[in-house]
Amino acid sequence: EKGGYPHFMLKEIFEEPQVIRNAITGRVKNGKTIIAELESIADKLKTTRNVQVVACGTSYHAGLVFKRFLEEYAALNVEIDVASEFRYRKIKFDEDTIVVAISQSGETADTLEGIRIAKARGATIIAVTNVVGSTISRESHAVVYLNAGPEIGVAATKTYVSQLTVLLLIASYIAQLRGFGDKKLMQIVNEIEGMPTIFESILATSNDLTRELAKEYFDYIHFMYIGRGYGYPSALEGALKLKEISYIHASAYQAGELKHGPIALLDRKFPVFAIVPDDSLKTKTLSNIMETRARDAKVVAICTEGDQAVARIVNSRIEVPKVSEPLYPLVMSPYLQLFAYHVAVMRGHDPDKPRNLAKSVTVE
């Protein structure tokens, strides 16, 4: 059942090109996005001024990318919170509120309770889930499925990639509805269509690359992931993957927050994993990297192909293909997942069955 792979996690990472294909099928045409499942609430999506995103763990990280993209391309203000906080906040919901609940399993207790509260107060609920007939899907007004196939590994990998793809498409659809379907957006939608091929080429080399990198770093007991803008969700997700399967303490910070405290931790025994694509915030992140180097921290960077400015100042690096800014979280995912995978295996852990964790968190 593992199809010749030593672990489900590895098998599922290698399914990512296909998973993206499934997420796109029937939803993209000539640079335009069609989300048939949302047509019944299209009028609401056109006029709403209040979008709330709710999710936990990795799904929350996908939500952060969605929020940023909607703000940038649909000129919408979007709020996001983890479900265990969301459900206890005094949020004003009304007929105008759209709640987007992201849950791979569709069974996460806090996310479910969050949408129940919002629904009872009049909000319209959109669920983004992988599991057909799941509780969250049944209790929502509209459901957009990932179609990623079952995920066995406790660490979310292919479903994260799928969530990012589907959420970017949903956000593009909302942007189009609201009159922002311009050239720039169409180019991004076209790029999303090309993602399965890009992922195939990434996966041809990323496994060996990340294994080599893991050899250098698997013995550290701390890691600090940093990133800005679209890079921050990648920092959070990279750190979460590492801690949940390798049990190495990993934290994630917005790179600009370093000097407000966390930089005090850094020394030669505390490496930094910098998310530094060639985007509009790159030069800012570069100066944060310099600050960490001044504390003797070793720096691994994940950056855009051929970026000499990054190459000059870091100890090791992973290069990803050049894509539009909002698509870096997608192309960086397999590398962050594979790095965590190899570190876990080198430390003697089974990445499919991390201690203390369940695949679906049905208790609060």
Point out the residues that are catalytic.
Answer: 359
Give me the least distance between CB of 110 and ligand M6R, in Å please: 9
Closest CA relative to residue 301, chosen from 331, 332, 324, 323 = 332
Give me the least distance between CB of 163 and ligand M6R, in Å please: 8
Instruction: Give the interface with ligand M6R as residue ranges (CB under 6 A).
Output: 56-59, 103-105, 108, 111, 154-156, 244, 357, 360-361
Sign of the CA dihedral running 240, 58, 52, 280: positive
- With tokens 């994993």, the residue in question is 273
Give me the least distance between CB of 138 and ligand M6R, in Å please: 15
Judge whether 112 and 65 are in contact, CB under 8 Å: no
| Segments in 37-182 forming alpha helices (H) | 42-47, 57-74, 83-86, 109-120, 135-138, 158-177
What are the percentages of helix, strand and coil residues in the chain, rounded to 5?
50, 15, 30
Give me the least distance between CB of 291 and ligand M6R, in Å please: 30
Residue 126, beta-bridge partner list: 100, 142
Closer of 102 and 289 to ligand M6R (Cβ): 102
Closest CA relative to residue 328, chosen from 227, 231, 247 = 231
Closer of 126 and 185 to ligand M6R (Cβ): 126
Query: Can you tell me the distance from the alpha carbon of 189 to that of 151, in angstroms, rounded to the nearest whole number?
Result: 26
Query: Can you tell me the distance from the alpha carbon of 54 to that of 83, in angstroms, rounded to the nearest whole number?
Result: 5
Distances (CA, A) of 132 to 3, 57, 66, 150, 345: 24, 20, 22, 11, 32
Give me the least distance between CB of 82 and ligand M6R, in Å please: 10
Question: Which residue number is nearest to ligand M6R in terms of Cβ?
Answer: 57
Cα dihedral: 132, 18, 274, 232 (round 10): -30
Give me the least distance between CB of 199 and ligand M6R, in Å please: 19
Query: Can you tell me the distance from the alpha carbon of 54 to that of 74, in angstroms, rounded to the nearest whole number?
Result: 19
Structure tokens at 24: 């796109």
Residue 316, beta-bridge partner list: 300
